[in-house]
Amino acid sequence: MARYSDTVRDQNGVPVIGALVAVTLQDGSLPAMTDDEGTALANPLTTDGYGNFYFNLVGSAFVNLKIYYGGVLRTEEFGVLVGQQSAIPVGVVTWPELEVIEGNSPGELALVANDDGTHIDPVSGDEVPNEGVYSWTSTDWTWLTSVGGAQIPIVFDLGSVALSTPMIDVSETWNGTTDDIFDGVKVTVTDTVSNPSSRLMSLSLGSRRVHEFRKDAQYILRKSNISIGGIVCVGTVGEMALTSGISNATGNPANVFRWYWEGGVNGSGIADETVSVLRGTGTNRTSIESGSAMTHIADASRFEWEGSGSSPPRLLFLGYDKGTANGRTIDFTNYGQTPARASPIVSFSGQSNADKVVSFGTNSGSSWVERGSVTANGNASFDNRVMGGRLATATYTVAALPASPVAGDLAFVTDATAPTWGATIVGGGAVKCPVFYDGANWKAG
């Protein structure tokens, strides 16, 4: 009997209880599976309270596994060997060489990959190709299938060799010209119907796949069951994406950052390199970090920055010479904008009139003290109330003074009649004088 066992884990490495595992042979038929007591097992299997499953087969076989949980197909395994593979070097022997080698136990497999002849199978009595996959019956090697129809894992046992000996060592020297292009390793698979997540090549450390080269043009790296990332080709014009973590929706690493050329394609279907684009995908935010502090975040149509540790927390914009502590002015300008310059260059707004849109003050690096501010409706206030230069106010006729002033408002009129300081201003004259609003009336002064 050949026994196979494994554990089903989710994208976070947690064992999945009650997952369904469907098992088929390479030709799509269902294998006869039993438990350790010889009782037939249902197909699909169901994982136990620890996420484990197992089954036994008579002899060796290659099987396909489909794993479902949450009502979704999560994983497919193709060409899984159940049983023992022969220790005979794969693809090295010819049929005459294999024929005289005695296998270790029934069900062992061997591969003849480079022999164009034919022979009479000692078990079936049929004429079969020399090249193919063979199984040991306890007395003879019997032909199973052609090399092209087999999915044969190559298994190496390092127990009998020095650790410094490579498992695979293929060395060759190409001494062609600079125009010559060669393949060091080439794997060609003709396949249009299997799952896009099928792996062209998989390199594992124990039960963890460290490297995966997949059919859907995705390369996946796994440092652990929860530390996963990679790179994938997406879209139709060479858009690339970095991936990280696992998407709960697809069970695959999620695209978190993409880069590509934008501006269409040329006549050959190649991006015409108009604009290079870097962007976050989905609802993810793209951030730039320095050390452990996130300094810049692009989120949808807005930019965000993390605040400093001052009290109250504030965002700091500091201008420096590159690589020095020398300060430089931060300048907002519309210089060089053509044909139309931006105006205003910078805009500040508040939801309500009382919102402060600009404030002035001192910053010691750990604390902020406000010294002045301007509100959304244009009111300015300063703690020390000292202003240099001139203070200019709006000019009106008395009849045109603002209808809804606030106590303390100042203005200047051009048609006062015999104004007296502190008296309610009367228009219709020719005297120019300042006025103020006392909360009830505009007064001369």
What is the tens place of the pLDDT at every residue in 52-72?
999 998 766 778 899 999 888
| 7 and 15 Cβ atoms separated by less than 8 Å | yes
pLDDT at 160 over 50: no
pLDDT of residue 252: 66
Report residue 427's pLDDT band, with 50, 70 and 90 as the boundaries.
very high
Element (H, E) at 96: helix 95-99
Q: Where does the pLDDT of residue 418 fall: very low under 50, low under 70, confident under 90, or very high at 90 and above?
A: very high
- Residue 95 corresponds to which tokens in the numbers above? 């049929």
pLDDT of amino acid 284: 54
Q: What is the pLDDT of residue 132?
A: 84
Domain 2-82: what homologous superfamily?
A: Immunoglobulins (2.60.40.10)
- Which pLDDT value is given to residue 412? 96
| pLDDT given for residue 379 in this prediction | 81
Q: At 166, is the pLDDT very low, low, confident or very high (cuts 50, 70, 90)?
A: low
pLDDT above 90 (res 42)? yes
Distance CA 25, CA 33 (A): 11
Q: What separation in angstroms does the CA of 293 have from each of 154, 297, 336, 423? A: 47, 11, 34, 61
Quick one: tokens of 235?
Answer: 């879209």
Structure-block tokens of residue 254: 């999620």
Q: How many whole angstroms separate alpha carbon 185 and alpha carbon 120?
A: 34
Separation CA 401–CA 410 (nearest Å):
10
Q: What is the pLDDT of residues 99-132, one digit of tens each?
A: 888 877 776 777 787 788 899 999 999 999 998 8
Vertex 108 angle, CA 197 and 4, to 5°: 50
Q: Is the pLDDT assigned to residue 78 strictly greater than 80?
A: no
What does the DSSP assignment read for 180-248?
A: ----SS------SSS-TT-EEEEEEETTEEEEEEETTSEEEEESSSS-EEEEEEETTTTEEEEEES--T
Of residues 191 and 115, which shows the higher confidence score? 115
What does residue 280 show for φ and ψ, rounded to 5 degrees? -80, 160
The structure's pTM equals 0.41
Q: Which residue in this structure is represented by tokens 């962007």? A: 279
Q: Distance between CA atoms of 59 and 82, rounded to whole angstroms?
A: 8
Task: Average the pLDDT over 335-359 and give the result.
Answer: 90
Q: Which one is predicted more confidently, 111 or 163?
A: 111
Percentage, residues of the chain above pLDDT 70: 71
What's the pLDDT score for residue 93?
67
| Cα–Cα nearest to 139, from 86, 89, 100 | 100
pLDDT-derived band at 149 (thresholds 50, 70, 90) equals very low
- Mean pLDDT, all residues of the chain: 78
The pair of three-digit structure tokens given for residue 427, joined into one six-digit string: 């228009």
pLDDT at 97: 86
Range with the lowest mean pLDDT among 112-116, 154-158, 251-255, 331-335?
154-158
Please list, in sequence order, all residues whose beta carbon lies within 8 angstroms of the beta carbon of residue 163, skipping any fewer than 6 positions away: none
pLDDT over 90, % of the chain: 23
Q: Are 429 and 416 in contact (CB under 8 A)?
A: yes
State the pLDDT confidence band at 87, using cuts at 50, 70 and 90: very low
**Is residue 274's pLDDT more than 70?**
no
- 379-386 mean pLDDT: 73
pLDDT recorded at residue 165? 55
Average pLDDT for 422-429: 96
From 265-274, 331-340, 386-395, 435-444, the region with the lowest mean pLDDT:
265-274
348-363 mean pLDDT: 89
- Sheet containing 293-299, strands listed edge to edge, beginning at the edge strand earlier in sequence: 286-290, 293-299, 302-304
Q: Which amino acid is at 310?
A: S
Residue 369 or 295, more confident = 369
pLDDT, tens only, 225-255: 667 788 888 766 667 888 777 665 566 667 7
